[in-house]
A and B are shown apart, each in its own frame.
Chain A
Amino acid sequence: MLFNSAGFFLFMLAVWAVHWAVGRRSALRQNLILLAASAVFYGLVDMRGLVMLLVGAVINWAIALRIASLPEGRARSRWFWAGITLDLGLLVWFKYAGFLVEGLADLLARVGLGTGTLEILLPLGISFYTFQMLGYLMDVHHEEIEPCRDGLHFVTYVLFFPKMLAGPIERAQHFLPQIAGPRSPDPELMTDGLRQILWGLFAKAVIADNLAVFVDEVFDHHTTHGKGTLLLGTMGYLVQLYGDFSGYSNIALGVSKLLGIRMMGNFAYPLFGTSVGDFWRRWHISLSSWMMDYVFTPLSFLLRDRGRAGLVISISVTFLAVGLWHGASWNYVVFGVLQSAYFIPIALRQRITQAPVAGNITLIPGWGHLWRMGLLFLLMSLTFALLRATTLEQTAGILKGILTSPRVFITESLPVPLCLLVLGLLGVEWVQRGREHGLEVARLPAWVRRSAYSGVVLAIFFFGRFAQEEYIYIQF
């Protein structure tokens, strides 16, 4: 059930009505309704995955309680590592075993020892919910949070359907206090949720899904296109991916607000970033901050006496983990290696935060800012092509075409209305870049708000594609 489908709209309407009508003034009833709705939402797509997820959530909950009950020592460490091994083990088995077996089979085939492959069906959202549970165990083990005593609260947190399939990777300390007590309907929060859903739909159905037609053509037939078209295709893919994933995230956050729960933001206008460090503070924030807190910080702390070498190793491992989080493919490995190659020189000069931040730039940016934003956009477009291409050969073919093709002109054009809509998205987000989302207009006069809503609704109505295009990040 995709967020941009009529089925989800009806499902959401029913959950919203039951949640506020039946669950009013009772946290227990509200949470039971959320849990039941989440189980239905996930179970309709993947029943086997639902059982595995429920069992995994209960085990993690119990292990965290056990860890917290023990004093510092071997027994506590053993329980902690048992939980980490279980979570990581399941993730590795489902997500990476096929890749590892394939690599091994290739190696064996080269020395004439036969071949074999392993087909494993990936449970939906496993990368997202596993990271939530891993983070929770680490926080409890490091005494940063108290363990959740209520099993219903914890399982509701893990399964909460708006974030189930593609995040955000929500933190327990942010989510759990919100469902600890009864929630009252907050009209302001709900209105903002509706606005956020509308903006998300615009980014997904109008921008991302229309760009997908052009991007698919360029990537799928890259050998027939010249450098102009290939370059436009890679840039188009970055905007498509942004529209797709930020659109998904905005809908998830908006739906959550309708149920009285605020989740953490996942995007802070990354296309306006002015440096690689700035970009990663704005792109898929729930993943990048997770990696920063649970991979980079412990590793750089462990290696702190090794000076620059320690820093280089920590950054490389972190970005490799970011790349591999997307899946088991050499494309993702190269993606991680490239991102660390961009980041390390800046980190060694300790100038991560010294580039101007888009939020601080005046309404009309100077040439210097535009130049930095443009350069970063180009660099990220070329790098993110690795997430779209199916093989390393395809990525190499596209990059080679961009560098060496004699055909400079764009042969596969983008429709003019789509170009204007993309500019519209970027223009609105530039003006709104200090706000949580592009349609956060509560402070504006009523006529401006109504015009904004009408404009977005009309754009979705006339230009939106609702051909059940899947969200890109669900595959990760």
Chain B
Amino acid sequence: MTSTKTMELEELRGRIRRTVIAVLGHDRFEMRDDLTARDVEGWDSLTHMSIITGLEKEFGVRFKLKEINKLKNMGSLIELIRSKLEPT
């Protein structure tokens, strides 16, 4: 059960990473939980919205502005997507 969850998490991280790469056009960042937009070349206010839109399409979810504003780092982004994907 735990390993299935780990696999799901790894797949989730992989899909997020691919989406970010598709927007920024490079893969020069590590998928750490404490990674922030400031640490990633080209991840600014403009590309941020493209990344958000890309993630919405990739995972078939809709974010709220309040949720986006509260994001602190990659860990909170992953957590947000996981919470959206969990069956209610």
Please classify how large the interface on chain B is, using the bins under 10, 10 to 19, 20 to 34, 35 or more. Answer: 10 to 19
Additional 12 contacts, C-beta under 8 A, given A297-B45, A304-B52: A297-B65, A297-B69, A300-B46, A301-B49, A301-B52, A304-B53, A304-B56, A350-B25, A350-B47, A350-B50, A352-B46, A353-B42
0 or 1 for each of A351-388: is its CB under 8 Å from B? (1 = yes)? 01110000000000000000000000000000000000
Does A296 contact B69, Cβ atoms closer than 8 Å? no
- Does A393 count as interface, using CB distance less than 8 angstroms? no
0 or 1 for each of B40-68: is its CB under 8 Å from A? (1 = yes)? 01111111011011001000000001101
Question: What are the residues of chain A within 8 A of B70 when measuring CB–CB?
Answer: 143-144
Q: Which residues of B contact A (CB under 8 A)?
A: 23, 25, 41-47, 49-50, 52-53, 56, 65-66, 68-70
Question: What are the residues of chain B within 8 A of A354 when measuring CB–CB?
Answer: 42
Does A144 contact B69, Cβ atoms closer than 8 Å? yes
A-B contact count (CB 8 A): 46
Give the CA-CA distance A463 to B3 in the complex, in Å: 73
Taking the closest CB of chain B, its distance from the CB of A46, in whole angstroms, is 35
Does B65 contact A143, Cβ atoms closer than 8 Å? no
Question: What are the residues of chain A within 8 A of B47 when measuring CB–CB?
Answer: 350, 352
Question: What are the residues of chain B within 8 A of A352 when measuring CB–CB?
Answer: 42, 44, 46-47
Give the CA-CA distance A88 to B88 in the complex, in Å: 40
Does B68 contact A301, Cβ atoms closer than 8 Å? yes
Give the CA-CA distance A353 to B25 in the complex, in Å: 13
Q: Which residues of A contact B (CB under 8 A)?
A: 142-144, 277, 292, 296-298, 300-302, 304-305, 311, 347, 350, 352-354
Give the CA-CA distance A302 to B46 in the complex, in Å: 14
Give the CA-CA distance A353 to B40 in the complex, in Å: 10
Give the CA-CA distance A347 to B53 in the complex, in Å: 16
Taking the closest CB of chain A, its distance from the CB of B49, in whole angstroms, is 5
Does A353 contact B66, Cβ atoms closer than 8 Å? no
Taking the closest CB of chain B, its distance from the CB of A74, in whole angstroms, is 17
Taking the closest CB of chain B, its distance from the CB of A143, in whole angstroms, is 6
Does A301 contact B44, Cβ atoms closer than 8 Å? no
**Looking across the interface, which residue of chain B has its beta carbon closest to that of A142?**
B66
Taking the closest CB of chain B, its distance from the CB of A342, in whole angstroms, is 14
Taking the closest CB of chain B, its distance from the CB of A297, in whole angstroms, is 7
Does B42 contact A142, Cβ atoms closer than 8 Å? no
Give the CA-CA distance A259 to B1 in the complex, in Å: 58
Give the CA-CA distance A277 to B68 in the complex, in Å: 23
